[in-house]
Amino acid sequence: MLTDYHVHLRPDGENTPAAEYFTEANAERYRETAADRGIQELGVAEHIYRFTAALDVWQHPLWVENAHDDIDRYCEFVRERTDLKLGIEADFIPGKDDRMRSLLEARDWDYVVGSIHFLAEGALDYDRFDVWNSARSADHVWKTYFTWLGELAASGLFDIMAHPDLVKHWGKERPWPDKDLRFYYDLAMEQIAESGIAIELSTAGLRKPVGEIYPDRAFLEMVVDAGNPIALSSDAHTPEQLGFEYEQAMELLSDVGVTEIAVFENRSVTLEPIGPS
Ligand SMILES: [Zn+2]
Ligand SMILES: [Zn+2]
């Protein structure tokens, strides 16, 4: 079994209206490319901030600019006009978890992917609103990020932890901590272990300035020791990006002793042996 669950039906940004991308023809393009690459379990996880309902949770300027679509029409489209699994990529925003919970629990997802893209107003993977403009030290930014990551796991809002060390997105283009990175991972690890949340192995980092898989091998070893399931995704925003560099991902998983991946349906998880169909 190979999965790609953290998949977007359109690129980020302006000029990607739902009417153009939430179509049977577009879903079919994704399905065909996935089949060519041996990926039989395919699901979508649109960014929650592209839906107007997200503004009930948070009003970050980026969300206000991007919230145009109706979340229930998205769910209806995926369920009724495609054979894809239905997911969503939702942000963990401390202090807003009650509102996020109401939004998420009102819909019948196959899985919810939980992300941290912002530390307060500062963005981790976007040069507008860049968190690094705050002049905080790398130590402070990394500590905050991994503390929140533990809270994300403990919140129980999410089935899959997305791109677990996204804080490294810019690589050496931004300040980098001096400490052994396991110091930061440890800040989240107890809550991750207790929650049982599936941890995403995302090849998207290979397309980003850092040029590495998310998460780092040491982080992966820690969650494997803790017994968390592993979910495999590319964070594709186009059909061409599906299953990107999965050979590298499978090699890494095999190196750390992972032989099974997480498969989701109606928010419950089963484990299946890894490999292309
Ligand atoms: Zn993301
Ligand atoms: Zn994503």
Q: Calculate how far, in angstroms, residue 272's C-alpha sits from the geometric centre of ligand 2.
A: 23
- pLDDT at position 138: 97
- pLDDT at position 126: 95
Contact (Cβ atoms closer than 8 angstroms) between residue 116 and residue 91: yes
- pLDDT at position 213: 98
**Residue 210 and residue 219: Cα distance in Å, rounded?**
16
Q: Calculate how far, in angstroms, residue 165's C-alpha sits from the geometric centre of ligand 2.
A: 13
Kindly report the backbone phi and psi dihedral angles of residue 187, in degrees, each rounded to the nearest multiple of 5, phi listed first: -65, -25
Q: Calculate how far, in angstroms, residue 253's C-alpha sits from the geometric centre of ligand 2.
A: 21
Chain centre distance of CA 184: 19
Q: Calculate how far, in angstroms, residue 143's C-alpha sits from the geometric centre of ligand 2.
A: 23
Q: Calculate how far, in angstroms, residue 90's C-alpha sits from the geometric centre of ligand 1.
A: 8
Long-range contacts of 22-28 (CB under 8 A, 24+ apart): 22/73, 22/74, 22/77, 22/78, 24/81, 24/82, 27/78, 27/81, 27/82, 27/84
Q: Which residue blocks in the chain are alpha helix, DSSP H?
A: 18-21, 24-36, 61-66, 71-81, 97-105, 138-155, 182-195, 217-226, 246-255
- pLDDT at position 229: 98
Q: Calculate how far, in angstroms, residue 46's C-alpha sits from the geometric centre of ligand 2.
A: 7
Q: Calculate how far, in angstroms, residue 161's C-alpha sits from the geometric centre of ligand 2.
A: 11
Find all residues with CB under 8 Å of 45, minimum gap 6, and list them: 5, 6, 7, 8, 87, 88, 89, 111, 113
- pLDDT at position 135: 77
**Residue 149 and residue 133: Cα distance in Å, rounded?**
21
Q: What is the pLDDT along the chain (277 residues), one digit of tens a residue?
A: 999 999 999 999 889 999 999 999 999 999 999 999 999 999 999 999 999 999 999 999 999 999 999 999 999 999 999 999 999 999 999 999 999 999 999 999 999 999 999 999 999 999 999 999 987 899 999 999 999 999 999 999 999 999 999 999 999 999 999 999 999 999 999 999 999 999 999 999 999 999 999 999 999 999 999 999 999 999 999 999 999 999 999 999 999 999 999 999 999 999 999 998 7
**Residue 159 and residue 90: Cα distance in Å, rounded?**
11
Question: For ligand 2, a single-atom ion, which residues have Cβ within 5 Å?
Answer: 89, 235
Find all residues with CB under 8 Å of 11, minimum gap 6, and list them: 237, 238
Q: Calculate how far, in angstroms, residue 274's C-alpha sits from the geometric centre of ligand 2.
A: 22
Contact (Cβ atoms closer than 8 angstroms) between residue 86 and residue 75: yes
Q: Calculate how far, in angstroms, residue 6's C-alpha sits from the geometric centre of ligand 2.
A: 6
**Residue 128 and residue 138: Cα distance in Å, rounded?**
18
- pLDDT at position 276: 83
**Residue 166 and residue 213: Cα distance in Å, rounded?**
10
- pLDDT at position 277: 76
SS3 of residue 188 by DSSP: helix
Q: Which bound ligand lies closest to the C-alpha atom of 125? A: 1
At which residue do the structure tokens 């982080």 appear? 219
Residue type, 27: A
Q: Which bound ligand lies closest to the C-alpha atom of 92? A: 1
Q: Calculate how far, in angstroms, residue 115's C-alpha sits from the geometric centre of ligand 2.
A: 8
Q: Which bound ligand lies closest to the C-alpha atom of 166? A: 1
**pTM > 0.95:** yes
Q: Calculate how far, in angstroms, residue 254's C-alpha sits from the geometric centre of ligand 1.
A: 25
Q: Which bound ligand lies closest to the C-alpha atom of 114? A: 1
Q: How far apart are the first and last CA of the chain?
A: 6
CB neighbours of residue 196 within 10 Å: 14
State the sign of the Cα–Cα–Cα–Cα dihedral 207, 232, 190, 58: positive
Q: Calculate how far, in angstroms, residue 177's C-alpha sits from the geometric centre of ligand 2.
A: 25
- pLDDT at position 120: 93
Contact (Cβ atoms closer than 8 angstroms) between residue 262 and residue 231: yes
Q: Calculate how far, in angstroms, residue 5's C-alpha sits from the geometric centre of ligand 2.
A: 10
Q: Calculate how far, in angstroms, residue 89's C-alpha sits from the geometric centre of ligand 1.
A: 7
